[in-house]
A and B are shown apart, each in its own frame.
Chain A
Amino acid sequence: MFSQPIASALLLACIFIQASFSLHAKEDIYLEPDRFIEQSFDELPEQKVLWLTKDAKAEIKKVFGREYPGLRIRYWQLGKRTAWILEEIGKVKPITTGFVIEENRMLQMQVLIYRESHGWEVRYPFFTDQFVGLERNESNKLNKKIDGISGATLSVNALTRLSKLALFLHKEVTQL
């Protein structure tokens, strides 16, 4: 009497498990990095690279909270304005973010590519607008408090850390 429902349930279970694959969060490109650079300057800026010395890497670790991968970071500069495309992992995947900075003040922060399954709300202007006018002082504090988003804490933290890094890097290249 029970054999039919049990067999059906087991068959259903087998089908589900056989068909199961680990889900990969898809990559959402909100704005191509090239387009972001084009939109950030009136004319085409010069592409440059900042080579990270041992001292610079040590400073970055203090500012960013951990080592930033690589020995050089590329950026774009026109006059006093610089643009940076940086990446930091939110929970498991990197968030590609663009920053535009002039005279140590942030003019724009924009999430370009988001790969996590949660926390994509950080792309919206209600969040990104908070970064406009952001400055970083010598004790690595920001001049404004960034309000978080419920369910996107890790992404918010990642973007806040990246903002500090971008402001630090801007200062490094404009002081040279």
Chain B
Amino acid sequence: MSLQLPRKRTILAWHRWLGVASALFLVVLSITGLLLNHTERLGLNQITIHNGFILDRYGMAGGNEISAFRIHESNTIAHLDGQLFYNRTALSAGHPPLGILEGDPITVIATKDELLYLSAEGELIEKINSTQLPYSALHAVGISIDNQPVLITDEGQYTPDSDWLEFDRYQAAYSVEPLPKVEIDEATELAILEQFQGGGVTLYRVLLDLHSGRLFGWGGRTLMDLSAIAIILLVTSGLMGWLRKSRRQQTEKQAP
């Protein structure tokens, strides 16, 4: 019993279309694969990329506006794309501040889901996240009549102890003052942006992510998966076409 192969025209049509559709991705796969195989020789780890599009793909472009707030008289807390800065120094990842509560020895920066405790010199003392807080989302920071901080949250109001370790429910009156923004000079803005972007992305990382398709998220990865499947199908359809041709030649030879 011989294997029934599809008609030659069908095989050829599939082979041609698949080849054309996947050509670009196969070229990308081949070139990036070749380069990655020679990472050390080409020094791909030493070359850094600062291109806006590439940095944006890695969430490092920092294209949004920097918002800054006054802290410790003459210092600033700045926020850029999920990163907080004390003056020009990166402090921690986090949401924009909703309140800044200065105290001794702890100054607290309250964000939507975290509390950052700082020393008077701006050093990070402790970072408290939502798993350690009695609430899930903070809306605003207020001040009670007796000048105690009040955290206004989804689950009600809370007031901390003097060490900011425990939080008690608070139901009395309080007032909320908006946190005013301040302007920062251009040099500080540039320094923050430079800190945010770090040394850029290495060419090795970009090529690796281009090779796997991850540079374009799950869509790119799926396209590269499809390209890999296309290679298998191209090999199969190529072999099928060749088998059909050689069988026909054999039949023609055997014919009287």
Contact = CB atoms under 8 A, between A and B. Distances in A.
Interface in B213-233: 216-220, 222-223
Contact of B222 (A16, A22, A70, A71): A16
Contact of B165 (A8, A16, A21, A74): A74
Contacts of A16: 216, 219-220, 222-223
Interface in A61-117: 69-74, 85, 96, 112-113
A131 B197 CA distance: 39
Interface stretch (B126-134, B140-148, B182-190): B126-134
Interface stretch (B117-125, B150-158, B171-179, B236-244): B117-125
Contact of A32 (B58, B131, B220, B222): B131
B168 interface: no
A13 interface: yes
Interface string B156-174: 0000000101100000000
Given A6-B21, A9-B21, A32-B131, A20 B220 contact: yes
B223 A21 contact: no
A49 B219 contact: no
Interface string B59-83: 1000000000000000000000000
Nearest to A113: B131
Nearest to A33: B131
Given A6-B21, A33-B132, A96-B131, A70 B219 contact: no
Given A20-B219, A29-B131, A47 B166 contact: yes
Q: Is the interface of A mostly helix, strand, loop or mixed?
A: mixed
Contacts of A17: 216, 219-220, 223
B20 interface: yes
Contacts of B131: 29, 32-33, 96, 112-113
Interface of A: 2, 5-6, 8-9, 13, 15-23, 29, 32-33, 47, 49, 69-74, 85, 96, 112-113
Given A5-B20, A16-B216, A71-B123, 11 more contacts: A2-B20, A8-B21, A15-B219, A18-B219, A21-B218, A23-B217, A69-B124, A70-B125, A70-B126, A70-B127, A72-B125
17 contacts: A2-B17, A8-B21, A9-B22, A15-B219, A16-B216, A16-B222, A16-B223, A20-B219, A22-B58, A23-B218, A29-B131, A70-B127, A72-B117, A73-B126, A74-B165, A85-B132, A112-B131
